[in-house]
């Protein structure tokens, strides 16, 4: 059966979901959307994760947040831990898509903090930290295209090119 999303996919369109949560991953909903709706990637941002973590109907973050609070983690550290864990898990779900597409699709994005949009060195440092923490080849780190972000994009692009040419 041909569906609107399968027709788009067959025409070469990469369909990305603009929503991610731990429940979407653990319930199998993300895998189902890949299979039935031809979803080939997910984009995330701080607002998406804030909504997921603070959703009173979703308790999937409660234990981790409680544990991190008990260790004295700051709110920023807790959000970093939760978001990188979710992105890594989603990337594992998308890994077969990434492999089957020749490493074109099957990506999940995470962005550096918007607070760093005007700090080239801070942006580069956080991009490296996100890459190291998530540790999946199909990760896409989003960097703001600001005046300070452009050199950060160039540095990270050069670093990525150098690591894939080895």
- Torsion on CA atoms 157, 162, 164, 166, rounded to nearest 10: 180
Burial 75-98 (b: 16+ CB within 10 A, else e): eeebbbbbbbbbbbbbbebbeebb
Q: Are 44 and 108 within 8 A, CB to CB?
A: yes
Distance CA(80)–CA(112), nearest Å, equals 10
Q: How far apart are CA 83 and CA 22, in angstroms?
A: 9
CA distance 48 to 67: 22
Determine the Cα–Cα distance for residues 23 and 27; give it in Å rounded to an integer.
6
- 142 catalytic? Reply is yes
Catalytic member of 56, 128, 133, 142: 142
Catalytic residue ranges: 142
């Amino acid at each position: 059966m041909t569906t609107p999303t399968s027709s788009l996919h067959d025409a070469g369109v990469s369909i990305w979901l603009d929503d991610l949560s731990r429940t979407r991953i653990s319930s199998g909903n993300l895998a189902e959307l890949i299979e039935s709706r031809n979803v080939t990637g997910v984009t995330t941002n701080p607002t998406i994760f804030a909504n997921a973590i603070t959703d009173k109907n979703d308790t999937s973050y409660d234990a981790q947040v409680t544990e991190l609070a008990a260790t004295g983690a700051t709110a920023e550290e807790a959000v970093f831990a939760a978001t990188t864990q979710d992105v890594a898990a989603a990337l594992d779900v998308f890994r077969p898509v990434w492999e089957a597409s020749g490493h074109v699709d099957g990506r999940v994005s995470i962005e550096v903090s918007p607070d760093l949009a005007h700090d080239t060195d801070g942006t580069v440092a956080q991009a490296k930290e996100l890459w190291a923490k998530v540790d999946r080849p199909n990760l896409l780190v989003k960097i703001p295209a600001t005046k300070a972000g452009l050199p950060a994009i160039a540095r990270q692009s050069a670093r990525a090119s150098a690591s894939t040419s080895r």
